Amino acid sequence: MPTAPIASPLSLNPAGSSGSTVEATAFGAHVLSWRCRGRERLYLSPHASFAAGKAIRGGIPVIFPQFAERGPGPRHGFARTCTWDTVETGPERLLFRFADDETTRASWPHRFAAELSVEPGPDRLRTALTIRNRGDEAFEFTAALHTYLRVADVAGTLVHGLEDRPYLDSARQGLHCEPDDAPVRFEAELDRIYPDVRKPLRLTDGEELLRLEAEGFNDVVVWNPGRELAAGMSDLGADEHHRFVCVEAAAVLVPIRLEPGQAWTGAQILVVEERADA
Ligand code: TA6
């Protein structure tokens, strides 16, 4: 499992995508930037570290094979801190691949092949993670696309579509909370896991509207560290929490089980929507 820091990022500007461009790096199969309709849609911390072995703060980190501390391996898994193979660099998509080796098997003793496909369109970005069991025993994993969405100001940002959903509050030891009928707003640290979310979400920061769809990922994680936590993070810093929210397509609460030879795909589709009043 090589852990070289990123060299030069790959970029993709497919014909017919009307200026929707992405930049990604094979380090973690990490999407760093998505520009669509004249605006950067992802947040990348100005203090992000690109050092070997350290996860990049921002963009779309790939979380696999474990979410947070839900397993014996490194926090949020090893996929985000190792270098994947670059298999396709266009014209329509970037494709990265990564498989188990001695180092991955030391913390997670399973034989797998992973693929991340990044497909920008005129008004959207589809990111799909495929995991295949290439061993001879079943295994289970959790995963997420830990997407940092750039917003004008977190204070005016709302996530719609989770009003009727109960959630686990990770900022309060996983406390089970009942739905509260209101869109999610960000007034302090917020760290929630919403199980079994079936419909698209809408994120608005008062300026733009983004529709968030998922396939194969049943859960949604919503996170913003708030001022105090952000200030204490060397790769973020005070006030940076204002500029993003993470809304993550995730498979966390019910691990995905794959029998030998089986494969699973989870995708996240981000769509820039016209505002009704535009
Ligand atoms: O997905 C939410 C979360 O698990 C939060 O609890 C928060 O700590 C965040 O991810 C960032 O984790 P990281 O390991 O990248 O610092």
Residue 224 β-bridge partners? 190
Q: What angle do CA 99, 146, 259 make, to 5 degrees?
A: 40
CA-nearest residue for atom 9, ligand 1, is 223
Ligand 1 centroid–CA 68 distance in Å is 7
Ligand 1 atom 4 nearest Cα: 68
Q: What is the mean pLDDT of residues 189-217?
A: 96
Q: State the pLDDT confidence band at 90, using cuts at 50, 70 and 90.
A: confident
Helix (H), strand (E) at residue 87: strand 85-89
Nearest to 202 by CA among 211, 194, 193: 211
| Percent with pLDDT over 90 in the chain | 87
* Residue 278 CB partners (closer than 8 Å, separation 6+): none
Residue 215 bears catalytic tag:
no
146 is catalytic: yes
Pocket of ligand 1 (CB under 6 A): 55, 68, 75-76, 146, 170, 191, 221, 223, 246, 248
Which of 12-16, 33-37, 40-44, 151-155 has the least mean pLDDT?
Answer: 12-16
Whether residue 253 contacts residue 195, with contact meaning beta carbons closer than 8 Å, is answered with yes
As for the ipTM of the complex, it is 0.98
Tally the C-alpha atoms within 13 A of residue 130's C-alpha that lie toward its C-beta. Answer: 14
* Catalytic residue from among 146, 208, 240, 241: 146
In order of their start, the domains of the chain are 10-273 (2.70.98.10)
Q: What is the dihedral of CA 156, 161, 165, 169, to 10 degrees?
A: -30
Distance of CA 139 to the CA centre of its chain: 22
Determine the 3-state secondary structure of 273 from DSSP. Answer: strand
Residues 256-274: pLDDT tens digits? 999 999 999 999 999 999 8
Query: 1 pLDDT band (50/70/90 cuts)?
Result: very low
- 33, 120 Cβ separation under 8 angstroms: no
Whole-number Å distance between alpha carbons of 126 and 141 = 22
Ligand 1: residue of 78, 148, 170, 175 to mutate (most ligand atoms within 8 A of CB) is: 170
The pLDDT confidence band at residue 9, using thresholds 50, 70 and 90, is confident
Query: Does the pLDDT at position 96 exceed 70?
Result: yes
User: How far is ligand 1, taken at its centre, from the CA of residue 75, in Å?
Assistant: 9
Measured in whole angstroms, the distance separating CA 41 from the mean position of its chain's CA atoms is 13
pTM (2 d.p.): 0.95
Specify which residues 132 forms β-bridges with: 113, 263
Q: Residue 125 — very low, low, confident or very high, per pLDDT cuts 50/70/90?
A: very high
Residue 255 parent element (H or E): strand 244-258
| Model confidence band, residue 161 (pLDDT cutoffs 50, 70, 90) | very high
Tell me the H-state helices in 57-123: 102-107
* Dist CA 241 CA 153 (whole Å): 9
CA–chain centroid gap for 82, Å, is 16
